[in-house]
Amino acid sequence: MGRRRGDRDGTTLGACIIAWMIVGFASAQLTNDFYSGSCPRAPSLVTAAVQTAALVDSTQPPKLLRLLFHDCFLQGCDASILIDSTASNKAEKADPANASVDGYSVIDSIKTILELVCPNIVSCADIVALAARDAVTLMGGPLVVIPTGRRDGTISRQSDVQSNIPDTTFTLDQLLNFFGAKGLSLNDLITLSGSHTIGAAHCSAFNDRFKFNFNGSGQILDASINPTFAKQLLQACPGNPSPTTTVPNDLTTPTTFDNKYYQNLQMGMGLFASDQLLFTDSRSKSGVNSFAQDQASFFSSWEQSFLKLSTVQVKTGSEGEIRKNCRAVN
């Protein structure tokens, strides 16, 4: 979900309450049959395109899910992360925290298809949300019924990124403040962290858990990490790894959306420090244990939390626009 960077201050309770009110009001204007009259094939076309993309490149589904997280955390779920930089404006995707975010080409392909079938109807924001939902289902996760009717934002600034992307070194209090500002609870935090059951991370995202000597050998700094797991990580990511080197978020079943992420946490095998603290902190440990024991419980909670995530501060009605090109405002 996030990327390692510097700490930041938490949000106030008042800001959290206001954010929750905004989320609730906006999501109420979305509907499950929004395109039934204007573009009834839209959802099925998105699903088919995601399936095709996964056949060509199996790394695409996790990327599409991560794309939604990074979109919704900034400006709300309005596809602002898709906008390219211009000579006069550096957009969100220009920030180092979004450097490894991908899936753009799949969204572009879907938008091209939908513009041919239903021009000027389906928003890029809805495409991102539906594609992420379908990516989870394709990898074995639950099918979530999410409403549509999101409109696309017109603002995308690199300067907004650092204060709106969670850090893999955050404490639980910092994570709770961050998620609370988006109208998301402790249970949502535990549940949505389960997205790390798929995908991969660059070495730089977790190398703060080690101290490297001049010869490239590493020393474990984080006592919560399983020593055997730590050796695997140090072997994959020595002192000066290639910038393209990645490690699966879940070494057990990296291509399946399941509850193994939580079982890994029980064994000290959380890839990020912010993952492992969910098990070491008493406030979240019971939730981890519950999901580790019962995948059906995790899936049920995922359906609710994913719905909340996908409707964070959405734009509806006369807000925003329907972009003709997801990479640029009209």
Report pTM.
0.89
Residues forming the active site: 70
- What pLDDT, on a 0 to 100 scale, did the predictor assign at position 211? 75
pLDDT for the residue numbered 313: 95
Q: What is the pLDDT of residue 245?
A: 87
In this predicted structure, what is the pLDDT of residue 238? 78
Question: Which parts of the chain are beta strand (E)?
Answer: 200-202, 210-212, 218-220, 246-248
| Class of CATH domain 13-166 | mainly alpha
Position 204 scores a pLDDT of 83
Instruction: State the DSSP code for 86.
Output: B
Domain boundaries, the chain: 13-166, 172-307
**CA separation for the pair 237, 216 (Å, rounded):** 10
> Mean pLDDT for each 10-residue chunk of the chain (330 residues)?
42 42 54 96 98 96 97 95 97 94 97 97 98 98 97 97 88 95 96 96 85 64 88 83 86 95 97 94 98 98 98 96 98
Please name the residues in contact with 278: beta carbons below 8 A apart, sequence gap of 6 or more: 172, 189, 190, 193, 265, 270, 284, 285, 287, 288
Q: Do domains 13-166 and 172-307 have the same CATH topology?
A: no
Q: What is the pLDDT, as a whole number, of residue 103?
A: 97
- Show Cβ contacts of residue 73 under 8 Å, excluding neighbours closer than 6 positions: 164, 165, 166, 182, 312
Residue with tokens 């899910």: 65
The answer to whether domain 172-307 has CATH 3.30.1330.60 is no
CA separation, residue 108 to residues 50, 51, 125 (Å): 12, 15, 12
pLDDT value of position 216 = 53
